[in-house]
């Protein structure tokens, strides 16, 4: 009896100690923003509670883009000629020796950036450039302005409609040069314009330009012939062409992601490969052959040496970007064949803290996989056909609550 009481007190004391620690302020919050393949909605899921906390109506099914800070999620609705800004509700403030986290309900910011056929969104520094294919121009916004419910800082001059891209800093914009003989084809290069719209220098050739990413201070675009490697740090942007290594099989990358923590790029290359690219390395290209055709891939922003690739047999693979080898895999969903339309609903990936999150549109759920053990860590019912996904969150202190 006495022993039991002592034990109970011990448990109580431990609980109190934990509560005090919690009050003193460590907080973790993660949210998933998940759009539907065919419905015009964006669902918001609290990852720790494992439940849906909000559903925002959009005008058309959306592709989602998260800002680098994670404070803003942009819902790009090509079918409605509109980009809608959502405040993720999670923000961090640097207090020097620690960071504070603030968690509020997610909300629509009332900012809608309209224009014909919005496509690629690129954030560089504080500028977010949204390209509108139907107008051949970009509208450039900043996260600070969007959060103040103001939208566009400036826009480039209208051009020939084409599927393009722009990247801006406070002085210059890199913008795709359309194929004027046939603007249904991909762009032929990149040109630099200043704020007044004056072109600086010639067009930097990049046949079949599609795909762009940043990693650290390097920006790359992919071309049929290799990469355009750009730096926008100096007084004027510098752009160089890096050809694919002669040893690579014929192919090209058309979608790229930039490493976080480590400076590298990960791109597709043919249907059953990915390519690791380090533009400043002596051997800048390393191919990784996958066991099956690729569905989606993502980089781990925290465990910098890992990236994840999902293949059509329903398996998630972990890629060690240092060794260039797959170092584990897990069956997560039923197979999703890559035969059929490119835009059929298939899984998409995001990394949220210690989890890789996999949308499973056929079952209306998102599956959670532990990044370290590569074991299933649960699933959350979303309903509909969950498709594009971004994750925001992290941990911080809350001492000013
Ligand atoms: Zn603080
Ligand atoms: Zn595209």
pLDDT tens sequence across 231-241: 998 788 999 99
342 — pLDDT class (breaks 50, 70, 90): confident
Question: Angle at the Cα of 261 (from 255 to 266), degrees rounded to 5?
Answer: 20
Ligand that comes closest to the CA of residue 24: 1
**pLDDT of the residue at 24:** 59
User: Rg (Cα) of the chain, in Å, rounded?
Assistant: 22
26 CA → ligand 1 middle, Å: 11
pLDDT tens sequence across 242-279: 999 999 999 999 999 999 999 999 999 999 999 999 99
20 — pLDDT class (breaks 50, 70, 90): very low
| Contact in structure between 45 and 31 (CB atoms under 8 Å) | yes
Closest CA to 31 of 251, 352, 374: 352
Record the pTM.
0.92
284 CA → ligand 2 middle, Å: 24
**pLDDT of the residue at 230:** 97
Work out the mean pLDDT of the chain and round it to a whole number.
92
Q: Among residues of the chain, what percentage have pLDDT more than 70?
A: 94
135: exposed, middle or buried (C-beta count within 10 Å: 0-12, 13-18, 19+)?
buried
Ligand that comes closest to the CA of residue 163: 2
Whether pLDDT at 14 is above 60? no
How many CA atoms lie within 13 Å of 253's alpha carbon, on the beta-carbon side?
31
Ligand that comes closest to the CA of residue 396: 1
Residues 6+ apart with CB under 8 A from 136: 158, 159, 160, 161, 162, 164, 178, 183
296 CA → ligand 2 middle, Å: 15
């Amino acid at each position: 009896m006495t022993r039991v009481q002592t034990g109970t007190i011990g448990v109580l004391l431990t609980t109190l100690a934990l509560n005090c620690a919690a009050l003193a302020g460590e907080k973790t919050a993660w949210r998933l923003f998940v759009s539907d393949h065919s419905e015009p909605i964006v669902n918001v899921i609290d990852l720790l509670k494992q439940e849906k906390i909000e559903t925002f109506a959009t005008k058309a099914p959306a592709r989602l883009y998260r800002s680098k800070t994670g404070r803003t999620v942009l819902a790009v609705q090509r079918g409605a000629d509109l980009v809608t800004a959502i405040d993720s509700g999670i923000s961090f403030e640097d207090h020097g020796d620690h960071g504070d986290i603030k968690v509020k309900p997610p909300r629509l910011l009332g900012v809608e950036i309209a224009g014909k056929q919005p496509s690629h969104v690129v954030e560089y520094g504080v500028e977010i450039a949204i390209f509108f294919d139907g107008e051949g121009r970009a509208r450039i916004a900043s996260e600070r302005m969007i959060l103040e419910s103001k939208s566009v800082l400036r826009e480039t001059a209208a051009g020939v409609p084409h599927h393009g891209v722009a990247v801006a800093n406070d002085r210059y914009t890199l913008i795709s040069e359309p194929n004027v003989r046939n603007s249904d084809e991909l762009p032929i290069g990149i040109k630099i314009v200043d704020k007044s719209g004056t072109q600086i220098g010639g067009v930097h050739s990049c046949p079949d330009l599609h795909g762009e990413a940043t990693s650290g201070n390097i920006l790359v675009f992919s071309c049929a012939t290799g990469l355009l490697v750009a730096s926008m740090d100096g007084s004027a942007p510098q752009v160089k062409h890096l050809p694919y290594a002669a040893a690579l099989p014929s192919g090209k990358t058309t979608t790229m992601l930039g490493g976080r923590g480590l400076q590298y790029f990960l791109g597709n290359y043919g249907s059953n490969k990915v390519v690791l690219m380090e533009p400043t390395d002596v051997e800048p290209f390393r191919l990784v052959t996958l066991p099956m055709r690729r569905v989606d891939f993502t980089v781990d922003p925290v465990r910098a040496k890992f990236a994840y690739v999902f293949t059509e047999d329903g398996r998630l693979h972990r890629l060690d970007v240092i060794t260039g080898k797959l170092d584990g895999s897990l069956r997560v969903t039923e197979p999703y064949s890559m035969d059929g339309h490119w835009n059929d609903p298939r899984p998409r990936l995001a990394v949220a803290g210690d989890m890789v999150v996999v949308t499973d549109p056929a079952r209306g759920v998102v599956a959670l996989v532990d990044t370290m053990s590569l074991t299933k860590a649960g699933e959350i019912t979303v309903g509909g056909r969950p498709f594009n996904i971004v994750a925001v969150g992290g941990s911080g202190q809350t001492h000013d609550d």
